Amino acid sequence: MCKKYFIFIFVVILTFVLDQGTKYIVHTQFELGESVVIINDILNITYAKNYGAAFGILSNSPETFRKIFFLLFPLGALAFILIMLRKISAQDKLQVLALSAIAGGALGNWAGRLKHGFVVDFIDFHFKRYFTYPAFNISDCAIVIGALLMVLAIIRDKNHKNIKGVKS
């Protein structure tokens, strides 16, 4: 098996297992809205149900639309990621990691929606009462990290092309 596919499968499985394991613990050991302080005034573990996308986007959309959209869109995204993975070089580890993290995160949230009809969120980041960030989970972290890695890869590639284009 090509090394990029091994990396992809490993990162997807690792992300999925960490995500599903943490969600299972929160879902079975916490009451909805229950919160445990991890770092005073900064980080709590708080059980929240998310029927929408990031930041609750689409949570007020009609239920039938949400169910269809959130069950089909991740499958389309995964198919697109697999097509992209085939096209990138095995040596481009940054893009392989980026796609792997995004795929693992998409799969983790998709599985939760399939099982519960919602996503379990629990990472509650805030700063005292001045700043509150919407609750999120391991899959969300993986998607954001993957997106940031992809941006870095694009910047790297753009800078590399600019350097190659300069004549000395």
CB 12 within 8 A of CB 107: yes
Q: Which of 84, 146, 83 is nearest to 109 (CA)?
A: 146
Decide if 101 contacts 149 (C-beta within 8 A).
yes
Element (H, E) at 125: strand 119-127
Under 8 Å between Cβ of 51 and 129: no
Could you confirm whether 157 is annotated as catalytic? Answer: no
- Active-site annotation holds for 92: no
Pairwise CA distance, residues 162 & 148, whole Å = 21
**Any idea which residues carry the catalytic annotation?**
121, 140
